Amino acid sequence: MRQEQNRREIDKLYILGAGCSYSLSSSLSTNGMTKTTTPLDYNFLEHLQEFTDRNAWVANSIGHIKRNWMDELKLNNHGLEEAIIKRIGQYDFLSKLHPQKTIKKSSNADYVDHLSHLISKFLLKCKANTRDRHKKFIDHAFPRSQTPSDLDNRIITFNYDTILDEVLLDRATLTQRQIYFDRLLKEENDNSLRRSNQKFSHPLLLKLHGSINWNVNTNYFKKIIENPSDINPDEKEPIWINRKKTPSPTDNVSPLIIPPLPNKPITQVGIFNYLWTTAYEYLHDAKELIIVGYSCPQTDGIAHAMFSHFTNKNIERVVIIDPDANMLSKYRGLFKSSVSKGIRWQYYENFQEYVDDEC
């Protein structure tokens, strides 16, 4: 059901997937991945095998996910989403029917917690390439000459990384709460109360799967993974920002990212319920949709449902940016009953081309 407090007229609504971050971080002069390139789902675990860091916990966590892998096929032969779904399913099955086989294996919550720390640590190292298109794009989407309340464009992203975030976070005219959500804390022990002048109902950047620079208590994170039904949706668990480093799994602090779980606990967790509800409203109120590197896979059932059930007859243009031209026909079919027949459809093969042409 639509919620009136989340409604706002949007000019351009950008929807960003992994392909966007990859194009902004990858070098145009090389074909292979580098340590500063954001990994895509299918090659993250393979690339993780080469990941080295001075922090001992990184090696310990990599060892943890290898030792506690339960399938006969090697871990790095799987995509990240496939691996998580398989591991959770196998552990759940065996722990209930053959518990002796899981005695020496970590719980799903522990396993995903270690993996989430590694994802965050890896992505924190990823930087934008030297073409500075990320800055050009952000300055186009959110002109510096406008006040936060006057900005009419918004971004929905399924990415955890902070390549685009950092451009906004470095602006003196924007607060972290205006960028993300207005209950975000500056640090763990910060006052969680929100003053009336801090309220900002329409955040600029909706990170629907969380962010590597958001931190929560580890016990709460594990509850999200294993027992989301035990969480009160109205509970306002402290969430604070940490731009500098990824905590160790022994710190009792976890990055607030929702890995590709078989069932994402969106409705049970207050902050994600709010972010998805707001994203749904933005879809109803946008004049243009620009979809960058997001294929809306069937496995992401909640996203597929959101894109299939909004109605916005005022959309004037939809832009699809993806190396796979078939994405244009896919979204035409997905939006068939959501938008009017007279809208303009446009296709770009890559994000660099779009930025250079329109920004």
Domain presence at residue 58: no
Tell me which residue range forms the domain holding 276. 4-27+131-211+260-358
pLDDT for 225-236, tens place per residue?
988 888 887 778
Task: Specify the DSSP class assigned to residue 247.
Answer: P
Higher pLDDT, 45 or 322: 322
Domain of residue 329, CATH code: 3.40.50
- Contacts of the segment 91-99: beta carbons below 8 A, 24+ positions apart: 94/70
Q: What is the pLDDT averaged over residues 93-112?
A: 93
Task: Tell me how far CA of residue 307 lies from CA of 3, 291, 331, in angstroms.
Answer: 17, 12, 9
Domain presence at residue 115: no
Torsion region of 75: left, alpha or beta (phi above 0 gives left; psi -120 to 50 gives alpha): alpha
Has residue 261 got a pLDDT over 60?
Answer: yes
Q: What is the pLDDT averaged over residues 35-58?
A: 80
pLDDT for 124-164, tens place per residue?
888 888 778 999 999 999 999 999 999 999 999 999 999 99
pLDDT for 182-214, tens place per residue?
999 998 888 666 666 678 889 999 999 999 999
Domain presence at residue 41: no
Joined together, the tokens standing for residue 293 give 């590197």
Confidence of residue 2 (pLDDT cuts 50, 70, 90): low
- Listed ranges 51-55, 213-217, 241-245; the one with the highest mean pLDDT: 213-217
Q: So what's the pLDDT on residue 4?
A: 60
Joined together, the tokens standing for residue 130 give 């030297």
Confidence of residue 30 (pLDDT cuts 50, 70, 90): very low
Domain presence at residue 90: no
pLDDT for 40-50, tens place per residue?
777 888 888 77
Has residue 27 got a pLDDT over 80?
Answer: no
Give CA–CA dist 353/349, Å, rounded.
7
Has residue 334 got a pLDDT over 50?
Answer: yes
Domain presence at residue 38: no
Has residue 31 got a pLDDT over 50?
Answer: no
Whether the Cβ atoms of residue 31 and residue 172 lie closer than 8 Å to each other: no
Q: Beta 240-241 vs 253-257: how paired, if at all?
A: unpaired
Has residue 113 got a pLDDT over 70?
Answer: yes
Give CA–CA dist 115/123, Å, rounded.
12
Geometric angle at alpha carbon 301, from 297 and 305, rounded to 5°: 100
Range in 167-171, 184-188, 287-291 with the lowest mean pLDDT: 184-188
One-letter identity of residue 353:
E
Residue 194: strand, helix, or coil:
coil
| Overall number of domains in the chain | 1
% the chain with pLDDT above 70: 93
Q: Taking all residues of the chain, what is their mean pLDDT, rounded to a whole number? A: 89
Q: So what's the pLDDT on residue 1?
A: 46
In the chain, % helix, strand, coil (3-state, to 5) comes to: 45, 15, 45
Domain presence at residue 309: yes
Whether the Cβ atoms of residue 136 and residue 355 lie closer than 8 Å to each other: yes
Q: So what's the pLDDT on residue 35?
A: 56
Domain presence at residue 114: no
% the chain with pLDDT above 90: 67
Confidence of residue 3 (pLDDT cuts 50, 70, 90): low
Joined together, the tokens standing for residue 259 give 């890995």
Q: So what's the pLDDT on residue 5?
A: 61
Has residue 28 got a pLDDT over 70?
Answer: no
Q: So what's the pLDDT on residue 53?
A: 81
Q: So what's the pLDDT on residue 125?
A: 85
Domain presence at residue 316: yes
